[in-house]
A = this chain, B = another copy of it.
Amino acid sequence: MTREEVEAYLKEHIPLSAAMAIKIVAAGPDGVSIEVPLGPNLNHRATAFGGSVAALAILAGWTLVHLRLKEEGLVTRTVVQSSSVDYDAPIHGTFTAVTEPVEPLKWEKFVRAITRHGKGRIGIAANVVAEGGAAARYTGAYVAIQGRKGAGEG
């Protein structure tokens, strides 16, 4: 999938991502970066709404897991199981969620759990950056459940 295809997929299937005006900066098995402008993601203080920051990071993590599983040829449904955000600094402009690299051994264990037991769980970390600086840190856990061929989405 190209960046444009990923963006179109997300905007079509997750309407809030369209409302947030997401732009895919990078999307591949090595990492996902998704950017949003401040306008639709403002809070009452004219900085970024914490809910937008969380939603963006959750989306980046999900997209990374989804793309990597797709590359493995696995048909799964993947959902977020838990999400945590620490907000370190107010955001005054465009901001971007950037996933951290996934340790190869951790990924292998995740894939093995899916192929052997039909279900796996993996932790994904991401940073939210704005104006070149760190603004928030995210960790999320995602669960992938193997589907029948043709039963999975995307």
Which residues from chain A sit less than 8 Å from chain B, CB to CB?
Answer: 9, 13-17, 19-20, 39-45, 47, 49-52, 54-56, 58-59, 62, 77, 79-87, 90, 153-154
Q: In this complex, what residue of B is CB-closest to A9?
A: B44
Shortest Cβ distance from A140 into chain B, in angstroms?
Answer: 8
7 A–B contacts from the bound complex (CB under 8 Å): A14-B44, A16-B19, A43-B79, A50-B79, A50-B80, A51-B54, A51-B56
Which residues of chain B come closer than 8 Å to A45, judged between CB atoms? 77, 79, 153
Known: A16-B40, A19-B20, A55-B55. 8 other contacts (CB 8 A): A15-B40, A15-B41, A16-B49, A19-B19, A45-B79, A50-B79, A51-B56, A79-B87
Which residues of chain B come closer than 8 Å to A58, judged between CB atoms? 49-51, 54
Shortest Cβ distance from A68 into chain B, in angstroms?
Answer: 16
Which residues of chain B come closer than 8 Å to A82, judged between CB atoms? 84-87
Partner of A16, one of B13, B51, B62, B87: B51
Q: Is the CB–CB distance between A52 and B90 below 8 Å?
A: no
- Cα A87 to Cα B90 in complex, Å, equals 26
